[in-house]
Structure 1
């Protein structure tokens, strides 16, 4: 039986990060993966979705390019090539991770693995002894009774990536990050798009003002949505909602989140990533892995969230509804007030800062580049930099970042 310092089951962001960091510290590492290296994020989630989303945004921009003095005649959508570009992107990034693992001398076993004890893993006909074992087996699309995936009419977020042709219409059940991003994708491509959300607002985990702005953006883009609504009945592909609205979508995307993959708990084994049922974000899983291997701590209450598309949506820290019973200050800057936004024609959105006792405690952004802007604010909040000290920083002009600077003085 071959012996290792570290055995890891699952080669998603949590697993391959733990493997690479363990190897960098001189540990002998074995990594098990029954499917593709990269896990859900690379193969079925973050990366393929962003690739298709970029294509859809580009397509929409080309259609509206006359506003900027550019006329494009005969622009056509070839969705098969959109998918081809997505697949090439995944393959390129996957090869990069595989090469990094190889160069780090991580042993990769392409078999389904079973954790037998806190020091033993079996895969195929072999057993592996490990001083330490990490389980990072990820998650799968969540099922809802009555909307079980048939992979034809009821699709999961995995299934939707396998579409060869675009539908004429789609119903999306759920308006978390997955639902919002796919609604934007299909709408950009000209698909009749409807979203159903059980909560009182779209993107219910966000700050209330962010949710309201998303609803406004959806209305402007003619994306239909129903809040405080569920699917009541389905008969022969006719969908009846709880508000008695009748829909006849070509397909239904069930996007109500993900559920941890089944993994028998073994005492002494470390569990990280989506399988823990905590925050199901790749960057959270990566930080868990680094914390476990390198002992670099991080704050779980300051994990930034990003929803992609135009404009991007990002937040970190406290929401305004979290502070309702406390004393706090709020500042808000409209993106339309920024010179760069006017030049780009991307004026929708705002930067909202929440503070207590002269320090930021929450930040919420709806804007182009929100995914980058939120990191500046995450650093400020985590390091408890006072608003007065942040005012001393020189922000470049014209940028979207100077919206943060403006908000500090509100």
Structure 2
């Protein structure tokens, strides 16, 4: 779709708006690299390139739209200050650039926001108000503060200036990357996908823009298809976990984004882990959504040149540690076994010696005698071991069985703890 066609379609934001926003960003945000990712290409079967928006000061693309909005405030509006609602990244962006520009910022965040994002927002100079369980709750409180205190409300996505600012990502990808067959854009409220779609529609109309949502929060998918699906539940991609999409963004995405892929939590976990282990970079759940879509539908993108927008890297360290361990279990590089053995001296040593000969590293041992389903002269032994790969894990299990030690798998692929 050309710029002219986009304008004639009556879209609320155009490529001209995106291009006009660019000078406001010069020198204030990082022009992040768009780099080929050979290891992700090998993993997915596509020719993968990554736009590293996690390199921004606040580790998120949100700086672009927030800065454009703040830079266009009148002197009177800037004096009154601003208020915003956010689950984290928009909050940090408004706080960072508001402080830099000397604008007072109040940020309303859901009470469920990860503490790492609350602390980061305060560190950038904002006054943080925690309110409600969802972004929708936070928005209501932010609008109340805006009315009562006269602050300008800075919407995280349904704002023309914000959408135009996010569109600069698309322009940079077009200028710095190859000719993309497809670009996968995470969708929460839709600001990022709208801006990027406008840029490609005007500059590279042959590129397919594919939206990506968390399966637990298919708000834009439902709005566009007319099929109501429930939104809710704990998701790793809290940055795109919204119940309501924007009116402006819905119009743009309906016109320029032909399809949306819904990704489940396992795919999001795998994608976060893949960015860490393959690219040595941090991605939060929302930031990894594009890669999660590639992992979900590899046949769709096989052999194509695909751009991923790693839109944020603000992930709780404890969550990241849990994801790494869970992925090691999925790959059977950490495996747990349950054995019921005779309670006699030397049995534990015998098993440990066998595991050592097999090259298994023992991580954890639970030795229990009190379960009623264990023979009076027996004991239950739960072992967690580190292995090289799935074949190694299977060899260890077979060797234990050969020693007359019946084995049950625990955790992934086996019985529950």
Considering fraction of residues, name the structure with more strand.
1
Considering fraction of residues, name the structure with more helix.
2
